[in-house]
Amino acid sequence: MTATTRSAPGEESPDGPRTATAAPPRRRSRARSRALVPWGFVGPFLALFTLCFVLPILYAVYQSFIQIRRYGLFGEEGRETVFAGLDNYTRALGQETFVDSIGRVLLFGAVQVPVMLGLALVLALLLESASARWPGFFRALYFMPYGVPGVVASLLWGFLYVPGLSPILDVAGLVGLEPDLLGPSGVLWSIANIITWMFIGYNMLILVAQLKTIPGELYESARIDGAGPLQTAWNIQLPLIRPALVLTTIFSIIGTLQLFAEPQILAAFTVNIDSAYTPNMAAYNSAFTDNDYNVAAAQSVVVALTAFVLSFGFLWLVNRKDRRR
Amino acid sequence: MTTTDVKKDDRAPARRRRGGGGTATGASARSRILVTAILAVAAVYFLVPVYWVFVAATKTTSDLFDSFGFGLGEEFVLFANVSEVLTYNGGVFWRWTLNSLLYSVLGALLATLLAAAAGYALAKYDFRGRELVFGLVLGGVLVPAAATALPLYLLFSQIGLANTYWAVLLPGLISPFGLYLCRIYADASVPDSVIESARLEGAGEGRIFFTLGLRMMAPALVTVFLFQMVGIWNNYFLPLVMLADEELYPITLGLVTWQSYQGRDIEMYTRVVTGSMLSVIPLVIAIIVLQRYWRGGMTAGAVKG
């Protein structure tokens, strides 16, 4: 086959070589239909992506800038939609509980994400070390909580947090400890424990996957240079799995901002979780309790923007360090 | 191997060295005990809630509150509890289970097919707008799913889709992560030459994808399918926002409904606990049996990620 056929990627028809030089009309129309082939493959995905991702985002942005004005006591004298500027945003951010909820998840993330990823990293390194026995068994076991729905995990841990029901508190009581796991300050970290329990294994698996791509020769030469296991981990393994660490951090940041199911379920066990405990709960509350979709939309947009700013901020920070090196 | 070698090899990742020979012997007995002990302690942490729920599901309501949580109660009523959950309120738990299966298995199957087709096209065809599509979809990974659920509800309620099976099924058909993985995998594992020669034999583009592409991308497809299935099965916020009709609920939503009755009816505790246990079983088995497949596909993702 000649190079000329290669140069026209859309026209690799069975009877090739002549295509590049002369293209009779029939050919050209066939070439055009060839150009549509990739869109045939991408089309269904793209259509649903537009319906379920792009449109809702645009719609949320639109909703967040409008307000419905009702006239008469029950809106019986008509209603109109007006442009509201930043009014919905001012009202959303004017709710003290909403602002508090953002601060709360930021604090949550600042503590929980490093702890969870640190533990996932340690477990991944240990599982990949020669000293681990039955690594496949442990790996499967650690990953198991990922298959437990957040709702069910919260129910299970909720029962384990309740005084009188919890065997953990019974055991702690034997040694004189009486932690208030559902108290005003403790409950946030009780939620953190649920998230950590669910996602350590998932993150560990991503890290293990990248650890497995490190060529054996690198370990060999580190060993010849006299590097111990800690030095090998620090100087070889950590730098080489950085992409996986960055990926898991970003997923974790986004997940943290979306917190909803776990605090909502735990709220049934304690009075210390209010209906606007996380930004997402606040938005849900605005929409379905206050029936104020415009403020809810503004809150959703704020959550998404915060996620964007934090993940790109984190990426920027990581890249800047890279350039310095 | 000298003794000093053995010491230095301490915990070094010997197992990975291909053809290294005598791999596991590289670690000293002491470090092996230490590492395995740490791993075992971690295992206990992961097992505690699951162990608790399996024990708790065997108890009567009074034993649930009065006996020690990690030990058996005075009576063993597991089977009575299970049949109570399955028959309570006209067997609605079955309905929820079937709904969850429908949403997650059918949704994940179609999502995998859509992601595979789109990823394959992005990897194997050079067309205008290709990078734009890819960038747009990757941006979708960064959008919190919960932030789109509310506006999606408003949108769906305007076109009459809210509170129907479609409301939960349709958003589950899109997996930006799946598209990403499929593109990378197709890039690496479906050779141009194979497509080329299939074309020379007169196969159509669609047939090439369905017969050759899909088969060659199979390992990545298993990963995409499993992730999507677990994601949909575990989802709570979307069905909560979309569904009002209890008949359409997945298990997660159903259990929360039962939980909300706990204050009024103390027997509800046993139903919630036993229902939780039943809902954990299928996915935990699936995950443990299939966890080897997660690895294969994810490596491809992690290499470039």
The secondary structure of chain B in percent helix, strand, coil, rounded to multiples of 5, reads: 80, 0, 20
Those residues whose C-beta lies under 8 Å from the C-beta of residue A154, and which sit 6 or more positions away, are A194, A261, A262, A265, A266
B13 vs A232: CB contact, 8 Å cut-off?
Answer: yes
DSSP per-residue letters across A137-177: HHHHHHHGGGGS-HHHHHHHHHHHHSTTT-HHHHHHHHTT-
Q: pLDDT, tens digit, for every residue of B6-45?
A: 333 334 444 444 333 334 445 688 888 889 999 999 999 9
Distance from CA of A180 to the nearest CA of B (A): 18
What integer pLDDT is reported at residue B60 of this predicted model?
87
**pTM of the predicted model, to two decimals?**
0.83
B298 contacts A206? CB cut-off 8 A: yes
Residues 6+ apart with CB under 8 A from B46: A141, A142, A144, A145, A197, A200, A201
B122 contact partners, CB below 8 Å, separation of at least 6:
A38, A42, B130, B133, B134, B179, B183, B186
Report how many domains make up chain B. Answer: 1
Structure tokens at B292: 């080897």
Q: How far is it, in rounded angstroms, from Cα B216 to Cα A269?
A: 50
Hey, are the CB atoms on B27 and A45 less than 8 Å from each other? no
Q: A102 to chain B: which residues are within 8 Å by CB?
A: none
A2 pLDDT more than 80: no
pLDDT in tens, B189-225: 888 888 989 999 888 888 999 988 899 998 889 889 9
Residue B44 corresponds to which amino acid? Answer: V
Higher model confidence: residue B210 or residue B2? B210
Task: Please tell me the distance from the alpha carbon of residue A160 to that of residue A319, in angstroms, as a whole number.
Answer: 42
- Say which of B69, B122, B236 has its CB closest to residue A165: B69
The residue of chain B with its CA nearest to that of A203 is: B298
Closest residue of chain A to B100, computed from CA coordinates: A149
In the three-class reduction of DSSP (H, G, I as helix; E, B as strand; rest coil), residue A15 is classed as coil
8-state DSSP, B252 = H
Listed in sequence order, the residues at least 6 apart from B283 whose beta carbon sits closer than 8 Å to its beta carbon are A147, A148, A149, B230, B233, B234
User: Which of A34, A35, A197 is the closest to B46 by Cβ?
Assistant: A197
Residue range A78-137, pLDDT digits in tens: 778 888 888 899 999 988 899 999 999 999 999 999 999 999 999 999 998 878 888 888
Instruction: Note down the domain range covering B282.
Output: 88-304
User: Is A294's Cβ below 8 Å from some Cβ in B?
Assistant: no
- What tokens were used for B190? 């479906």
CATH value of A93-324 in 3.90.550.10, 1.10.2020.10, 1.10.3720.10, 3.40.50.2300? 1.10.3720.10
Q: Are strands A66-70 and A79-83 parallel, antiparallel or unpaired?
A: antiparallel
- Whether B259 maps to a domain, the answer reads yes
SS (H, E, C) A95-125: CHHHHHHHHHHHHHHHHHHHHHHHHHHHHHH
B64: chain A residues, CB-CB within 8 Å: 165
Instruction: Check CB contact under 8 Å for B13 and A60.
Output: no
Closest-CA residue to A134 (of B37, B297, B289)? B37
> A314 to chain B, minimum CA–CA distance in Å?
13
List b or e across A182-216, with b for residues whose CB sees 16 or more CB atoms inside 10 angstroms. Answer: beeeebbebbbbbbbbbbbbbbbbbbbbbbeebee
**Contact criterion met (CB < 8 Å) for B8 and A133:** no
Q: Is B15 among the domain residues?
A: no
Residue B228: inside a domain: yes
Is A115 at the interface with chain B, CB within 8 A? no
User: Closest Cα of chain B to A141: distance in Å?
Assistant: 7
Task: For residue A225, count CB atoms less than 10 angstroms from its CB and return exposed for 0-12, middle for 13-18, buried for 19 or more.
Answer: exposed
pLDDT per position as a tens digit, B96-125? 999 999 999 999 999 999 999 999 999 989
- Looking at residue A24, its pLDDT comes to 53
3 state DSSP class of A70: strand
Where does the pLDDT of residue A147 fall: very low under 50, low under 70, confident under 90, or very high at 90 and above?
confident
Longest CA pairwise span in chain B (Å): 76
Q: Do B144 and A303 touch (CB under 8 A)?
A: yes
Using the predicted structure, report yes or no on whether residue B75 has a pLDDT greater than 50. Answer: yes
Instruction: Tell me which residues of chain A, numbers 43 to 72, contact chain B at a CB-CB cutoff of 8 Å.
Output: 44-46, 48-49, 51-57, 59-60, 63
Contact B146 A56 (CB under 8 A): no
Tell me the pLDDT band of A1, cut-offs 50, 70 and 90.
very low
Query: Which CATH number covers residue B182?
Result: 1.10.3720.10
Single out the residue of A157, A259, A241 nearest to residue B13, CA to CA. Answer: A241
| B43–A38 C-beta distance less than 8 A | no
- What is residue B146's three-state secondary structure? helix
State the burial class of residue B303 (Cβ atoms within 10 Å of its Cβ: 0-12, 13-18, 19+).
middle
Amino acid A36: pLDDT: 84
Smallest Cβ distance to B144: which of A10, A37, A307?
Answer: A307
Arithmetic mean of pLDDT over chain B: 83
* Nearest-angstrom CA–CA distance, B242 and B158: 12
Q: Which of B38, B47, B24 is nearest to A122 (CA)?
A: B38
Q: Could you give the percent of chain A with pLDDT greater than 70?
A: 87
Sequence-ordered alpha helix ranges (H) in B57-129: 61-66, 78-101, 107-124
The closest CB to that of A57, out of B130, B148, B273, belongs to B148
Q: How does A72-97 read in b/e, with b if 16+ C-beta sit within 10 Å?
A: eeeeeeeeeeeebeebbbebbeebee
A285-309 confidence digits (pLDDT tens): 998 888 888 999 999 899 989 988 9
User: Other CB atoms closer than 10 Å to residue A322's CB: what's the count?
Assistant: 9
Predicted pLDDT of residue A25: 54
pLDDT at B72: 85
Mean pLDDT over B260-264 rounds to 84
Contact B250, B168 (CB under 8 A): yes
Give the nearest chain A residue to B177 (CA atoms).
Answer: A251
User: Would B250 be classed as within a structural domain?
Assistant: yes
Token pair in block for residue B297: 């596909």
pLDDT reading at B3 higher than 50:
no
Domain-embedded: residue B165? yes
> How far apart are alpha carbons B39 and B32 in whole angstroms?
10
3-class DSSP assignment, residue A253: helix
Domain boundaries, chain A: 93-324
